[in-house]
Amino acid sequence: MRRQTWFATVVCAIAVIPGCFLGALFKILMYIFGGWLNGSDFLYLHVLFGIETPNIIYEWVFAHAIPSFIQAMIGGYFAVWVMEKLAYGADYRSAAMITGALYTGALVCLTILTLPTIGPLVSDMLISIIQCVGIWIGLNSAVNELPAPRKVAA
């Protein structure tokens, strides 16, 4: 069982990458049909008061953050689906949690290494954090849909 869990972890960690490519197709569709976001005036604040910041935040959330979140969520979900097909009988919950921890650890290390160069938190770092949360949610939601493992009698 232990060997199967580690194999499932490796499969899941590798399968996140093609899953994110699959999620990128959905992200492209969101960009295609999200043309109404370009130059939108949130609550007409720019026209009425000349305030530009809410428009920038609104555009960042709906044009960058939400599509990246959904892309990562599809990647995590796809990874668990592939893991279930290739690593039959493993502890899927542990493998998914280890995969999420690996990606979170990599993100923390990269963030710490880039802080001295880039400076304070920038929007690209926030997008990376949002994608990491999306991977966690995709992994957990896919694992929760799997049937409970059966106990094998000896």
* Letter string b/e over residues 37-74, b meaning 16 or more CB atoms within 10 A of that residue's CB: beeeebeeebeeeeeeeebeebbeebbbbbbbbbbbbb
Query: Which structural domain range is residue 50 located in?
Result: 2-145
Residue 150 domain-assigned (yes or no): no
Reduced to 3 states, what is the DSSP secondary structure of residue 102?
Answer: helix
Looking at the domain assignment, is residue 110 inside a domain?
yes
- Residue 56 counted as domain residue: yes
Q: Residue 147 above 60 pLDDT?
A: yes
pLDDT in tens, 11-41: 999 999 999 999 999 888 887 876 656 666 6
Our count of domains for the chain comes to 1
| 154 is a domain residue | no
Is 100 inside any structural domain?
A: yes
34 in any annotated domain: yes
Helix (H, G, I), strand (E, B) or coil at 154: coil
Q: pLDDT per residue over 50-95, tens digit each? A: 777 777 888 888 888 999 999 999 999 999 999 999 988 888 999 9
* Residue 48 scores a pLDDT above 80: no
Rounded to an integer, what distance in angstroms lies between the CA atom of residue 34 and that of residue 53?
20
Q: Tell me whether residue 153 is in a domain.
A: no
The pLDDT assigned to 97 comes to: 95
Domain membership flag for residue 118: yes
